[in-house]
Amino acid sequence: MERPSDHPAIATGGIGVLLVNLGTPDAPTPSAVKRYLAEFLSDRRVVELPPIAWQPILRGIILNTRPKKSAHAYAQVWGANGSPLAAITAAQAEALQQRLGEAALVRHAMRYGRPAIAAEMDALVAAGCERVLVAPLYPQYSGATTASVLDAMAGWVNATRRLPALRTLPPYHDDPAYIGALHADLSRQVAALDFAPELLLLSYHGMPERTLHLGDPYHCQCRKTSRLLADAFSASHPGLRIETTFQSRFGRAKWLEPATDAVLLEEARKGTKAVAVAAPGFSADCLETLEELGIRAREQFLAAGGTHFAALACLNAREDGMALVEALVRRELSGWLDTDTGGGIG
């Protein structure tokens, strides 16, 4: 049966993949950072305080003081392609598209800022994707990260009439492919250093301690990643000591410990001279890895008596990282990629 002449052509039958990361300001300026922080810190998953108590603090104090300081930090790591996180996530999507070929259409989005999840989902549907895998690039699950992405997806679902079938990528903190990719990539980076580190510090983004007691599995999943990674390094680097810490404390509440900055100072005071720091919880380098670890943590450790410091890169879009992302995505697309979904127009 031929399509009626007054019926618009509609693409159908496609498979889509949406890679999602946290987000970034549009520019390293106080005004852009203020817009970004206003969205980020207004998320009830991120700050679990009643809005009537939190919003006056956010609007009256934080958004009038923090943007200038954060903009300075962003300016130190901003590149020709803009924010490192934005540029790397775009590169990851492009690399995954090359690996999947015509089997699926790959796009990327940010939970906060641009490109927005809703806009990218609209684009996938417009391109004919009737089955979509949403892949938050967070190895360890947290309500403030993975769940927040799902909240945004739920908002898009609620506002959209023509919906695709949806799948989501689960956390992969203990996946053998993830541990193997980290071990291989970090081993190569350690071997390329001009010094032999005494300590490999595994630094994860911090969370308020109360989230652990409320049932968030993040802390346990970080610890398991470290334990599995330490097991792998015990065979390949038997003399390398490995410790786990948490960074990026904010506010007065008690956060997960031990704190990265405090441990680095204590290690230097105890006589540790050579340290390498890795951030296994980040899939792409960003402000927290490049500025907080690569610049501030380095300065703190060396000023306290250390002599050698290296902030190791995240997996980013390098071979080990992309082989991992492809393996995870293909696993979650199982049954879809193997099925002839047809195509054509409605």
Domains present along the chain, CATH in parentheses:
11-172+320-345 (3.40.50.1400), 176-316 (3.40.50.1400)
What number is the average pLDDT over the span 162-179?
A: 98
Whether the CB-CB separation of 144 and 219 falls below 8 Å is answered with no
Q: Give which of 36, 35, 32 is closest to 23, Cα–Cα.
A: 36
Half-sphere exposure of 97 (CA within 13 A, CB side): 13
What is the rounded distance in angstroms from the CA atom of residue 174 to the CA atom of residue 177?
Answer: 8
Length of the chain: 346
What is the rounded distance in angstroms from the CA atom of residue 30 to the CA atom of residue 23?
Answer: 16
- pTM exceeding 0.85: yes
How many of the other CB atoms lie within 10 Å of CB of 294? 22
What number is the average pLDDT over the span 179-194?
A: 98
pLDDT digits (tens, 9 = 90+) for 107-152: 999 999 999 999 999 999 999 999 999 999 999 999 999 999 999 9
pLDDT digits (tens, 9 = 90+) for 250-271: 878 899 999 999 999 999 999 9
Whether the CB-CB separation of 17 and 100 falls below 8 Å is answered with yes
What number is the average pLDDT over the span 33-49?
A: 95
